[in-house]
C-alpha cells in the first residue's frame, strides 16, 4: 500500500500527500534551476530529512535514557554540485541550549544521529558534515 500520493501542479511545482495523516507538502524548483523557489525544493527536503531523522533517532535514545532534548535546534546547509546537478554536501549544525553533562550520553546521541536511516541511505558521495555544538 502506498504511503505517499503525489501530483504535478505545473510550473515546476509538485504536491505530495502523506496518506495516513493527510499532511501535504508542496515543492518548487529552486530559482537557480528555473523555478520560483517559493517552497522547499526536492533536494531541500532530502537535506531537511537528514536533520529531522538524526534528531528523531536521538530522541528515541534520549527517551529510553530519560534525557530531555528540549532546546535542541539545528541548521541545515545544502551545497549543490553543478555537473551533474546533485547534492554535493549537507552540513548540519546542532545547538543545544541546556545539554546533558554526561559524556556517555553525548556519545550515544552523536552515534544515534550518525546512524539514522536517512544518513545510512544517502549515497556515500554526498558528504555529510555534522557539527555538534554541545
Contacts of 104 (CB under 8 A, 6+ apart): none
Name the H helices within the chain: 42-64, 103-114, 117-121
* Tens-digit pLDDT profile for residues 98-127: 999 999 999 999 999 999 999 999 999 999
pLDDT at 68: 94
pLDDT at 12: 97
Angle, nearest 10°, between helix axes 103-114 and 42-64?
140
- Low-confidence stretches of the chain (pLDDT < 70) are none
Quick check: helix, strand or coil at residue 104? Answer: helix
Phi, psi (rounded to 5 degrees) for 55: -70, -35
pLDDT at 46: 98
Amino acid at each position: 500500500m502506498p504511503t505517499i500520493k503525489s501530483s504535478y501542479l505545473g510550473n515546476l511545482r509538485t504536491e505530495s500527500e502523506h496518506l495516513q495523516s493527510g499532511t501535504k507538502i508542496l515543492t518548487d524548483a529552486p530559482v537557480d534551476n528555473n523555478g520560483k523557489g517559493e517552497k522547499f525544493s526536492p533536494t531541500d527536503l532530502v537535506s531537511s530529512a537528514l536533520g529531522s531523522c538524526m534528531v528523531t533517532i536521538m530522541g528515541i535514545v534520549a527517551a529510553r535514557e530519560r534525557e530531555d532534548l528540549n532546546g535542541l535546534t539545528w541548521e541545515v546547509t545544502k551545497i549543490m554540485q553543478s555537473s551533474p546537478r546533485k547534492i554535493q554536501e549537507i552540513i548540519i549544525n546542532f545547538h543545544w541550549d541546556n545539554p546533558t553533562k554526561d559524556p556517555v550520553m553525548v556519545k550515544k546521541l552523536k552515534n544515534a544521529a550518525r546512524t539514522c536511516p536517512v544518513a545510512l541511505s544517502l549515497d556515500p558521495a554526498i558528504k555529510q558534515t555534522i557539527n555538534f555544538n554541545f
